[in-house]
Structure 1
Amino acid sequence: MNRKAIALAVLGAVFVAGCAPQQTAKAPDSGATAGTATADVTKPKNDYNITVNYELGMHCTGFDFTYCCVLPPYNSVQSQVIKTADGPRAYPELLESDEKDHSVLVDGKKRFKLAYGHIDNTYSEGSKLAYWNVPYDVDGDGKWEKNENVANAYFTHLYVYKDLKGTNPKGTSKDSEKLFVGIQIPVPQDNGPAGAAVPSPMKGGHLHYTGEKGTIVFTKSPVLDNVPIVLTNPGIWDALGLPLTPFTDTVAAKNPLTLVESDVQPYQMAQVTLVDADTGKPVLDSHSGKPVSFVGTSPIDIPNCANCHANKTANGDKYTLYKQEKAFWKGLGASDWIANLKATSISIMEIHDDKNGTDFLKNYRPNSRDISNRLGRDPVLCQKCHADNVIGVLQSKTHKEDGKEEVIPALTQAIHTVHQIKAPLPDSQGRTAACQGCHPAHRQDGSMEGYPITPDGKNAYADADNRDAAGGCYVGRDVHSNPGKDRDGVGTKEYLNAIGQWLQDNVSQIGNGQGGKGLWCTNCHNQLSRELYQRDNLQNAFLQTGTTLRNKSLEEIAAGIGVTMDQLKAMMDPKVVLNEKGEDTPGKSEILHTWAKDRLVPDIAVIALKGDGPLVHKDEDGDINVVPLSANPAVDIASLKLPEGATGAAAVPYDAATHGRDYWLSPGSPHCADCHAAPFVEGQGGVAFPINQPGKYSLMRYTKGHAGIACQGCHESIHGLYPVTPEVDKTTYAQAAMYNPDGSHGPLKCASCHETNSDGVPLIAKHQPDEEEVADRHEWNGKPIEHDFEAAVQWMHAYAPDLGGKIPEE
């Protein structure tokens, strides 16, 4: 059925007032012509707009799983389809699926499908990926049987009972009723982990509508079965968890052993095309006569572990096995890059064995000529021991420490802590370069000039500024680090709160005439974000009503979280604090505070108590389950009705529910609301609890704004927000221009979906005599928005339905 008339602009730009857009790069031909302007009226350039994005700004993964893996391949295509306005008083429509077939999109009596794929990237396994072809004893019986491979081993902690909508017909948590991904639900080759239930192949697939509930799987936490994991919000068309690699078909046509680092293509182009549901033929746009087809960004890149672990930087003189591994692969004709990646895996496991008492290399055979299983065991998958919220592993294994049984720390805590201490890589400003030094930083043009880390693992900008690097998954890429943003599609002011203003004045200096270089990673990823989150109890997130520190002065914020002004400044711009060994210093470094054991962990929920502990019930398998009472941890506890047997209630931190703590969930990740003033903020959570929570700001990737459109639909994904720099990310740079009638590269403007006047404001904002009852809706701060684009943009953000990710009603 068709959904929602869209009330005003699909999205005005959110950041800085700018000039005419630069035309420094040409968008791919999307089958769309320039917008029509008649008598100062601008009309949409397309019959339909299809947004195309991925939920993260960059997915970091390897492509060879024969040794070990930190993160599996997992890229989703997410879309919404908007039928644009066809008259001055007409409203655009957000299109949904047939109620009985969620692969069919309905526009009145017309029935379509959304064909998707990646340009020049149609497969993965084989010459690009070693995943399904790598054996792994999934059931632990000592034999490699059908479907027993790494691809089927990785997501066995996720399960459903019937479908991907969270249906549990028997209302049970009994293990024998669960259908586990990779076991009862094997993952087909070149498909995402839900591929058996909802097809998500690399080639020849159609997007699937997530409906009123979204796409939901379950996992188990240490204290609760059936923890829902919302993989995709309601009201989104998606292809879930594709095993995408950063190698095109063209590149992979050569011997995979000869791949070189410049072959990495981090900004893969996803393409979504509207086709007839019956014939499969492309639907043609009435403006151009060309197919309705749009390109979006699927970011996927490879970390830089080899720059330290394939040489003496990480290994020193003590660890030497990497040398033999490198020599073995070089002897087979491998490129230096491939040989270094192989050697890196051995280095990491040798050091881990020595430091942590594991035996990963117990059966390793460095002198063997076997290339299929040189480890003599199943590959090492980090999340089989370490909890990791990012893929829904909420339980860690334990280990002995000083004779005591201790829970193994969360994966992100373990990795970041040791690397930040040992290799902080400060630049001349004192900011760590370990972020971009370790995380992906490859460029679309394949150039390795200006790379942020040297081949032997040093900061290439140690005597300069990290932000001088040529660009990567964040640096020099998106609007927050794009010095040219004011010239290229940004249409409004920044709307900063006190923290954002301080960062603009003292760090970024973009947008204030100072010619700055933008923000650094640690200006967003820090402990301050958690402190603000803990103290939110929002009624309406967009209007920022309720309780919050975010709209206060810096002095009030410092007092509210219990720190001095100097400490607050250190939290806003964390710096490395070197000790005599050249290491970052725990207890002094605000960067390390982000990963410290003793830092604040925000509350997850209110649970029932019995005496001095939680009220628990046991399920059919004898598993202990606590009793949650409220997903809003800041709720008035006195207002809650206690269940039978409870003697009280209390809010508990994420530590109590997941060994992954709050990492990569809403409380542990940055928010637009950390720096931007309302209404240019996320909505609150709710649908995706416990990833996000009612009364708290959601993550951008789970937030819907104007008329139920995902924030990413108009702004693109975080780390790649419009406008990006064309030199670094050509795919995203071209994308916005496919929608905006003026060809600009900033966020989608009102004219993308509405007919607008000469001021860029939709014609439907003009007051009509028969609209007295809604006239106030087209005013901002008591003034009409009809000829005020700035006010119109504020209006449409402020009046977005704050529904926690649900689909808005009519």
Structure 2
Amino acid sequence: MKNITVPLLLIGLLAGPAFARIIPYQAPTDDPLIRNNPIEKPVADNTRKPKNDYNITINYELGMHCTGFDFSYCCILPPYNSIQSQVVKTATAPYTFPQLLKADPNDPTVLVDGDKRMKLEYGHIDNTFSEGTKLAYWNIPYDVNKDGKYSKNENVGNAYFTHLYIYKDLKGSNPKNTSKDSEKLRIGIELPIPRDAGPSGQPLKNGHLHYTGDTGTIVYTKSPVLDNVPIVLTNPGIWDALGLPLTPFYDELMKKSPLEIVESDIRPYQEAWVGLVDADSGKPVIDSHSGKPVRFIGTNPIDVPNCANCHANENANGDKFTLYKQEKAFWKSLGASDYMADLKATSISILQIHDARHGTQFLAKYDPSSRATQNRLGNDPVLCQQCHADNVIGVLESKGVAQVLSGSKTRESWDTPIVALSQALHRVHQTMRPLPDSEGRTGTCAGCHPAHRQDGSMDGYPITPDGKNFYAEADNRDSKGGCFAGRDVHSNPNKENDGVGTPEHLNAVGQWLQANVSKIGNDQGGKGMWCTNCHNQLSRELYQRDNLENAFKQTGTTIRNQSLDEIAKAIGVDRKTLEQKYLDPKVIADKDGHDSPNKSGILLTWSKERMAPDIGVIAMQEDKPLIRKDEDGDVNVALLSANPSTKLASLQLPEGATGVAAVSYDAASHGRDYWLAAGEPHCADCHAPPYVEGQGGVAFPINQPGKYSLMRYSKGHAGLACQACHESIHGLYPVRPIVDTTTYKQATQYNPDGSHGPLLCASCHEVNESGVPIVAEGLTWEGKKIKDDLDAAISWIHGNAHDLGGKNRK
């Protein structure tokens, strides 16, 4: 198969402020975070040509994955970190084009460049194993088939993904066109997951990336109304290693008993590496510029949540729930560190509170006087998604309330589904522990989600050991580290001096947030955005009203290009409500210090009553969905369009149908529109076209045609993933150096001037004095030549990207 030559005039699709300026890089000195961490200034010569023969981009699909590492008692999220890459052969002359390299069609692990056949090795620096001293997962028994005994491969590591299945391969092949359960190959059962490997079988180390081809990497899952729902784990045209059980612990730090782990051992910004080797000999491919092996590093963030700060003390337990004390004392008697004893106690606290409030019996057989050290519950560990729907791992169907309480194996149609895991967790914690700062913004985001630092310091940690907001009298955005706060371009006061050198291109929403919240980029010395400025109901309201023809040009129907007054009117609120509940929601505390469900814009995000976007159009029979049942009696609706805003009159009705209807995410997934769905923020919420994502399609139902895709599934210029040039959400270039040291040095591998991202045109092209590719000097944007106008050039490549919904270019 021939490699397709594609013009990489500039790279990527914007997800935040635009590209770095093409000037010899100068390190800023006005930020103490940078001043105290000096970097070597690059030589200014030869900054107009690519510095590498090949560029291997490295990114991940989650903004910051958080997981526990001890699954003896319970688990909210399993370990799951991926490496995703694309490989560009750079231009060798002013008028030659770079090439986006693909695989041998007969071997998805072999990369082809003309006559050269290579493979992409991968691993993580000083992180080569997990199970054992870093992870208790495969070593924890779990009765996967529910026969009352533990057979081979029956453990938590194989129990977590049994809802996912394939029929033949990871390309979505279904040779018999069936949904029969007996034909399914379930992950963790018919396809057991090896120790220290991901659900696709790829190992944590000593593996090769595989190419996703024209289909992407696809598994299936089941929804309440449709069997064989495709879950696109990776888009087409990407090299990947999926779901690796990465932990935030370096090998060197784990030469001790797991009971001795302390919180300062956590290193959240792990370094993945990918290198080119000869496909036959395995010898490294040598770069002609440096004389060194072609090998790049990238960020793979993984952190541990902060549950123990409330659940290992009286904060969450009060005087009523006391079992945690005995659990903590037991582990302390065995020599456990305070941190590990608190983690064990936390699990017991959570399960005891859940039993008391929801009628479950997780601790019915728990014996606090037991001397057992592996499982003291008396039953299998509790995996939250066994009952709660959770789109982030593809569990689309919840168990029923009565089903759980009665112990029934089946759920009747009348039984109320248990709320989505995201809704259950966020709603109760935001209500009971809103933790506002002095500005009224909730501190629960950073309080619960990970905020550990790469240097191991706990100084200025956003949640105190007794579960209070460290910044209650200050500003949450003063945080010194975390998933987002103070980390990426949206909260980097030095972004203009540290990489970004062109305008933000904001719409009315973005302009309001810059003027009233961020204040970065308008000479007001601001601190940037906070979590709730993006994760809010407004993103859903905008998404619902999109029916795009071309996402990059934003043609079609949308309200994103309107004024705030017009947007407020369109979603049915006044301007003041839009600002206070949708743009910058604050905690509205009651007399007990709890957030107020009927008043808080933050809690609106997790409200059952709010609008959930439509997911598609189905056939109707009279006033009910047209139903077909498969060989196993499973219900399947007739999906007519993945674009819920399509013209209904254009749809052809199947036999027996009398009409059509657009239905919401609520009707299709008990996980609603949380995560990997329309509820996630989009770049297009704040940025004006063409600095937006492409539309969806390939990854339906995670994204949809006619709607903006999630950035992690979006492609822009020449088929490159947005993340290839901007890095991944929450860690977008340029990051602050002392917070995320891994990403900070990543972009310098590509940019000839040593700047810290996004990637420059010169990473792949030869450019002129303005940083514009010489091969593109004759092009125009909005009537003016881009030759001497970098911003116009950047706009051209964003605006002229092929809007293919994630498909590969032919």
TM-score, length basis structure 1 = 0.96
SS for the counterpart of 1:5 is coil
1:95 paired with 2:107, answer no
Q: Tell me how far apart the structure 2 counterparts of residues 474 and 399 of structure 1 sit (CA, whole Å).
A: 35
Q: Which letter maps to 1:119? A: I
Q: Tell me how far apart the structure 1 counterparts of residues 682 and 6 of structure 2 sit (CA, whole Å).
A: 29
Report sequence identity in percent.
69
Q: Which letter maps to 1:640? A: L
Which of 464, 482, 506 is equivalent to 1:472?
A: 482
The answer for the alignment partner of 1:62 in structure 2 is 68
Q: Tell me how far apart the structure 2 counterparts of residues 457 and 670 of structure 1 sit (CA, whole Å).
A: 28
The answer for the alignment partner of 1:432 in structure 2 is 442
Q: Which letter maps to 1:794? A: S
The answer for the alignment partner of 1:503 in structure 2 is 513
Report the CA distance shift for 1:500/1:788 in structure 2 as closer, same or farther (over 3 A).
Answer: same
1:787 positional shift: 1.3
> Per-residue CA shift, 1:604-651, capped at 9, x if unaligned?
000000001001111111111100000000000011111111100010
Q: Tell me how far apart the structure 2 counterparts of residues 190 and 12 of structure 1 sit (CA, whole Å).
A: 34
1:195-234 equivalences under 5 Å are 195=201, 200-234=202-236
Q: Which letter maps to 2:119? A: K
Tell me if the contact between 1:12 and 1:749 (Cα under 8 Å) persists in the aligned partners: no
Q: Tell me how far apart the structure 1 counterparts of residues 61 and 327 of structure 2 sit (CA, whole Å).
A: 36
Tell me if the contact between 1:35 and 1:45 (Cα under 8 Å) persists in the aligned partners: no
Which of 531, 554, 557 is equivalent to 2:564?
A: 554
The answer for the alignment partner of 1:789 in structure 2 is 790
1:615 paired with 2:626, answer yes
Q: Tell me how far apart the structure 1 counterparts of residues 10 and 599 of structure 2 sit (CA, whole Å).
A: 47
Tell me if the contact between 1:577 and 1:584 (Cα under 8 Å) persists in the aligned partners: yes
Structure 2: where are the runs of 5+ without partners? 29-33, 407-413
SS for the counterpart of 1:2 is coil
> Per-residue CA shift, 1:153-185, capped at 9, x if unaligned?
000000000000010001000000101000000
1:636-651 equivalences under 5 Å are 636-651=647-662
1:761 paired with 2:772, answer yes
The answer for the alignment partner of 2:613 in structure 1 is 602
Tell me if the contact between 1:77 and 1:240 (Cα under 8 Å) persists in the aligned partners: yes
Report the CA distance shift for 1:74/1:27 in structure 2 as closer, same or farther (over 3 A).
Answer: farther
Q: Tell me how far apart the structure 2 counterparts of residues 731 and 27 of structure 1 sit (CA, whole Å).
A: 13
Q: Tell me how far apart the structure 2 counterparts of residues 249 and 147 of structure 1 sit (CA, whole Å).
A: 26
Q: Which letter maps to 1:249? A: D
Q: Tell me how far apart the structure 2 counterparts of residues 42 and 478 of structure 1 sit (CA, whole Å).
A: 26
1:28 positional shift: 11
Q: Which letter maps to 1:52? A: I
Q: Tell me how far apart the structure 1 counterparts of residues 480 and 222 of structure 2 sit (CA, whole Å).
A: 43
Tell me if the contact between 2:389 and 2:421 (Cα under 8 Å) persists in the aligned partners: yes
Report the CA distance shift for 1:27/1:807 in structure 2 as closer, same or farther (over 3 A).
Answer: farther
The answer for the alignment partner of 2:409 in structure 1 is none
> Per-residue CA shift, 1:318-368, capped at 9, x if unaligned?
000000010111111111001000000000000000000000001111111
1:125 paired with 2:131, answer yes
1:727 paired with 2:738, answer yes
Q: Tell me how far apart the structure 2 counterparts of residues 50 and 376 of structure 1 sit (CA, whole Å).
A: 49
Report the CA distance shift for 1:175/1:110 in structure 2 as closer, same or farther (over 3 A).
Answer: same
> Per-residue CA shift, 1:74-128, capped at 9, x if unaligned?
0000000000000010000000000000000000000000000000000100000
Which of 302, 305, 308 is equivalent to 1:303?
A: 305
1:53-202 equivalences under 5 Å are 53-195=59-201, 200-202=202-204
1:4 positional shift: 3.3
1:277 positional shift: 0.5
Tell me if the contact between 1:12 and 1:750 (Cα under 8 Å) persists in the aligned partners: no
The answer for the alignment partner of 1:803 in structure 2 is 804
1:372 positional shift: 1.4
TM-score, length basis structure 2 = 0.96
Report the CA distance shift for 1:693/1:643 in structure 2 as closer, same or farther (over 3 A).
Answer: same
1:190 positional shift: 0.4
Tell me if the contact between 1:12 and 1:491 (Cα under 8 Å) persists in the aligned partners: no
The answer for the alignment partner of 1:775 in structure 2 is none
> Per-residue CA shift, 1:398-421, capped at 9, x if unaligned?
114999832100000000011010
Q: Tell me how far apart the structure 2 counterparts of residues 52 and 386 of structure 1 sit (CA, whole Å).
A: 33
Q: Which letter maps to 2:195? A: Q
Q: Which letter maps to 2:86? A: Q
Q: Which letter maps to 1:753? A: C
Q: Tell me how far apart the structure 1 counterparts of residues 733 and 531 of structure 2 sit (CA, whole Å).
A: 18
Which of 369, 372, 383 is equivalent to 1:370?
A: 372
1:22 positional shift: 1.3
The answer for the alignment partner of 2:668 in structure 1 is 657
Report the CA distance shift for 1:21/1:641 in structure 2 as closer, same or farther (over 3 A).
Answer: farther
| Runs of 4+ with >2 A deviation | 10-14, 16-21, 23-29, 33-37, 400-405
Which of 315, 318, 325 is equivalent to 2:320?
A: 318
The answer for the alignment partner of 1:446 in structure 2 is 456
Q: Which letter maps to 2:717? A: H
The answer for the alignment partner of 1:770 in structure 2 is none
Tell me if the contact between 1:27 and 1:735 (Cα under 8 Å) persists in the aligned partners: no
Report the CA distance shift for 1:707/1:93 in structure 2 as closer, same or farther (over 3 A).
Answer: same
1:203 positional shift: 1.1
Tell me if the contact between 2:130 and 2:245 (Cα under 8 Å) persists in the aligned partners: yes
The answer for the alignment partner of 1:528 in structure 2 is 538
1:39-50 equivalences under 5 Å are 42-50=48-56
Report the CA distance shift for 1:158/1:755 in structure 2 as closer, same or farther (over 3 A).
Answer: same
Tell me if the contact between 2:215 and 2:235 (Cα under 8 Å) persists in the aligned partners: yes
1:685 positional shift: 0.3
Paired positions, count: 789
The answer for the alignment partner of 2:411 in structure 1 is none
